[in-house]
Structure 1
Amino acid sequence: MGTADGAVDRPPGTQGGPPGTPLGADAVLVGFARALRAAGLDVSTERLYAFLRAVAVLRPGMRADVYWAGRATLCGGHDDLERYERVFAAYFGARGDAAPRRVRAAPPPRLRLTVREAAGVPGGPAGSEPAGPPTATLASSAEVLRHRDVAELDTAERAQLRCLLAAFALHGQTRRTARRRPARRGDVDPRRTVRELLRRGGEPARLRRHARVERPRRVVLLVDVSGSMAPYADALLRFAHAAVRAGRTEVFTIGTRLTRTTRELSHRDPDLAMAALAAAVPDWRGGTRLGELLREFLNRWGQRGMARGAVVVLMSDGWERGDPELLGAQMRRLHALAHQVIWANPRKARPGYAPLAAGMAAALPSVDAFVEGHSLAALERLAAVVRGAADGAAVVKGAQRA
């Protein structure tokens, strides 16, 4: 509930953050850090606590103070600044400058950043300070939006979701390659060591060492654009666009045809990428032939190396109009080639859902992780599963059978 001065009351039982943090602000700040982590920033627990302490020392109700506190504590290098700017603008609302301003509270359930006036009391001496420190509460509609079903969003909420998805980053699990690089620790590099000895004329020299080079695994996204997936297709494809920009990601659309759309999604601007994709995909909102198209993918690209050792993600509700046995056979082929097979189903989040559709039931035995894909929070968990994070909330194959 908003109070008369624009603050928001703490719900009963809510725990506060560090001393000085406004009521309820800790949950919003943690949600902002979670969004940064989904965008690819290395927001550790230590950095998060430093951020909360910095906001508590500054003025938590001032947008500029929150911005600079997060930039100083949550960014690990120059490469993080662009993503930080985009996530901050999407989470707290775009603003032409970072100057503190009063933001009026919005009616529930959508919440906004609200600030109790930090300037002098009206009618008092010019430039007079308030009796106490400014009291404010941070609340962002982005935190509410994270858990909303994409199919239920209105036009304004979809626009905000697109801004958050544009800052996403999707990286596969790291793998050790056959190439080696010089390192301080690791196996002895005999060639470099012998060359160093020869350069010194046989005098003792320090042993040269090398280590395996680690690279992220390739990620392959198969996005269902059939009629049953129409409410989710735009969000999933924008998620795929962010993944392509992060690198080493291939994207295919599946419906009645298989279309490789990696080139169209490589545009820097998300709207231009979506326009190019719309012109390239001829089977929008059509039927679904998962088994036949998966076989085409494996025969044309997967068997030749694209799926070999990769993390393959299928984004579909599993409604198959073709032969379910064909889908099951092709899923077994895919599972034998790929490092990990993940299925993201937007319908999984609905109450009482069970994988009873013929296509979904045939594919599940060959799926390593079965996750939801209906909301921004679900896509964040999907990114964690692809990344191999221990906290990725996935339903693994053992849990499926149980």
Structure 2
Amino acid sequence: MPSPLPPGLPPPAETLVRDPDPFPGLVGFTAALRAAGVPMTTDRVAAFTEALDALDVTDRMQTYWAGRLTLCSDPDDISRYDAAFAAWFDPRQGPSPPRPDAPAAPPPTLTSLLPTRDSREGDDEEEREQEILKATATGSEVLRTRDLGELSPLEREHLRRLLQLLRPDPPTRPSRRLASARHGRPDPGRTLRAALRNHGELGELRRRAPTRRPRKVVLLLDVSGSMEPYADALLRFAHVVVRRSPSSTEAFTLGTRLTRVTRELRQRDPERALQAAAEAIPDWSGGTRLGEVIGAFVDRWGRRGAARRAIVVIFSDGWERGETDLLGTQVGRLARLAHRVVWVNPHVGKEGYAPVQGGIVAVLPYLDELLAGHSLETLERLLDVVRAS
């Protein structure tokens, strides 16, 4: 037996409306609820209309409970819903008092509802939401090409959210382990076992091929004074890459000394990870001795396995205060260990740039790629290069 109407509402009438198509008015009722302070979404409106489609829309009790169960999401909404329902469907009760910022009360009868001020208000709100979404999408597209070192504080906050949306696929390499495959070398053992199960008949030549495993990635980030405008964004980029493949990715910072920040960047929360990394880096925004620091990485980490058959990505503008010949020598040692060496320079993407700095000139013969890294778009291009390596 259907539940009775709550106290305070008018007694059930024989019918709500006699209009052959009451649904436009019922949808307009949702605009009145929005004006009364009940949050409205397209999903709730759709659920309301679907419920009415399965019920008798001319029955007051069924209409009331269909709306209350689909349009109210909070206990505070029930009193507003009851007042709006009574004002909308019973003129004798009078309209409910509008909120200070709400439009005028809706018409009291459902059959007289055509496009009213409330429905237009809802349409205007939807149009404004669409305009906001379009503006946000356009802003995100423009931000992808902006120089990371020239962003305003608000744009940097937006960039941080965009960086978290990146989904870098780790590069892979063939392993020594073999698995069954359609193409590859013959697998005598599986072929013989299949023949034995088939009474000795050799029906098909089974094959096997090497499986693939993640290839190691090493990120070396220059945090000297000349790279300070890009350091925060690059560390956040490194956090995304490390979090995606924590077991096969290493991250270090380069300055006057070498600092491993892999453990700090493995934290799930980006703000905590960046804070921990900042506390671990003693030479933030200081000088740089790239040749000595890269040599320290090769001696302490690279030759012990971190750089062997790995993709090493160096983020630096190439300004070297020490000897450029030493930098070239150490990058050459690194290139002989690594699978590929990629140098990301934020100035490469700028108009009129030429690789004339002493550091860049010294390392160019040992690089597999020299890429730009001044914008989100160029960082996405870097992920494509690393994945395809």
TM-score range for the pair, normalised by the shorter chain length: 0.5 to 0.7
How far has the Cα of 1:207 moved from its partner?
A: 3.5
- The residue that corresponds to 1:160 in the other structure is 158
- The residue that corresponds to 1:237 in the other structure is 235
Q: Alpha carbons of 1:210 and 1:161: their partners in 2 closer, same or farther (altered >3 Å)?
A: same
How far has the Cα of 1:180 moved from its partner?
A: 0.9
What is the rounded CA distance, in whole Å, between the counterparts of 2:118 and 2:232 in structure 1? 55
What is the rounded CA distance, in whole Å, between the counterparts of 1:128 and 1:288 in structure 2? 60
What is the rounded CA distance, in whole Å, between the counterparts of 1:210 and 1:311 in structure 2? 27
What is the rounded CA distance, in whole Å, between the counterparts of 1:128 and 1:320 in structure 2? 62
CA displacement, residues 46-67 of structure 1 (integer Å, 9 cap, x when unaligned): xxxxxxxxxxxxxxxxx989xx
> Which has more helix, going by share of residues?
2
Judge conservation of contact 1:171–1:219 (CA < 8 Å) in 2: no
- The residue that corresponds to 2:338 in the other structure is 338
Q: Report the identity percentage.
A: 53
CA displacement, residues 315-363 of structure 1 (integer Å, 9 cap, x when unaligned): 0011111111000111111122212111111122333222222112111
How far has the Cα of 1:261 moved from its partner?
A: 1.1
- The residue that corresponds to 1:187 in the other structure is 185
Q: Alpha carbons of 1:301 and 1:352: their partners in 2 closer, same or farther (altered >3 Å)?
A: same
- The residue that corresponds to 1:384 in the other structure is 384
CA displacement, residues 198-230 of structure 1 (integer Å, 9 cap, x when unaligned): 455635454332221123321111000111111
What is the rounded CA distance, in whole Å, between the counterparts of 2:348 and 2:119 in structure 1? 59
Output the TM-score relative to the length of structure 1. 0.62
Specify every segment of 5 or more residues in structure 2 that has no aligned partner in the other structure, as ranges. 1-40, 44-112
The match for 2:116 among 112, 115, 123 is 123
How far has the Cα of 1:299 moved from its partner?
A: 1.0
Q: What secondary structure, in the 3-state scheme, does the structure 2 residue paired with 1:309 have?
A: coil
What is the rounded CA distance, in whole Å, between the counterparts of 2:229 and 2:198 in structure 1? 69
Q: Alpha carbons of 1:375 and 1:121: their partners in 2 closer, same or farther (altered >3 Å)?
A: farther
The match for 2:213 among 215, 222, 228 is 215
Which structure's CA Rg is the greater one? 2
What is the rounded CA distance, in whole Å, between the counterparts of 1:168 and 1:195 in structure 2? 46
Q: Alpha carbons of 1:121 and 1:236: their partners in 2 closer, same or farther (altered >3 Å)?
A: farther
Q: What secondary structure, in the 3-state scheme, does the structure 2 residue paired with 1:223 have?
A: strand
Specify every segment of 5 or more residues in structure 1 that has no aligned partner in the other structure, as ranges. 1-62, 66-119, 390-402
Judge conservation of contact 1:185–1:210 (CA < 8 Å) in 2: yes
Q: How many residues align?
A: 271
CA displacement, residues 4-38 of structure 1 (integer Å, 9 cap, x when unaligned): xxxxxxxxxxxxxxxxxxxxxxxxxxxxxxxxxxx
What is the rounded CA distance, in whole Å, between the counterparts of 1:315 and 1:277 in structure 2? 16
- The residue that corresponds to 1:273 in the other structure is 273
What is the rounded CA distance, in whole Å, between the counterparts of 2:341 and 2:323 in structure 1? 21
How far has the Cα of 1:127 moved from its partner?
A: 9.3
Q: Alpha carbons of 1:378 and 1:128: their partners in 2 closer, same or farther (altered >3 Å)?
A: closer
The match for 2:148 among 142, 150, 154 is 150
What is the rounded CA distance, in whole Å, between the counterparts of 1:177 and 1:315 in structure 2? 29
What is the rounded CA distance, in whole Å, between the counterparts of 1:175 and 1:261 in structure 2? 25
What is the rounded CA distance, in whole Å, between the counterparts of 2:374 and 2:121 in structure 1? 51
2:254 counterpart of 1:254: yes
CA displacement, residues 57-102 of structure 1 (integer Å, 9 cap, x when unaligned): xxxxxx989xxxxxxxxxxxxxxxxxxxxxxxxxxxxxxxxxxxxx
Output the TM-score relative to the length of structure 2. 0.64
What is the rounded CA distance, in whole Å, between the counterparts of 2:119 and 2:153 in structure 1? 44
CA displacement, residues 158-202 of structure 1 (integer Å, 9 cap, x when unaligned): 111011111223344432222111224433211222334445563
- Over the aligned positions, Cα root-mean-square deviation in angstroms equals 2.9
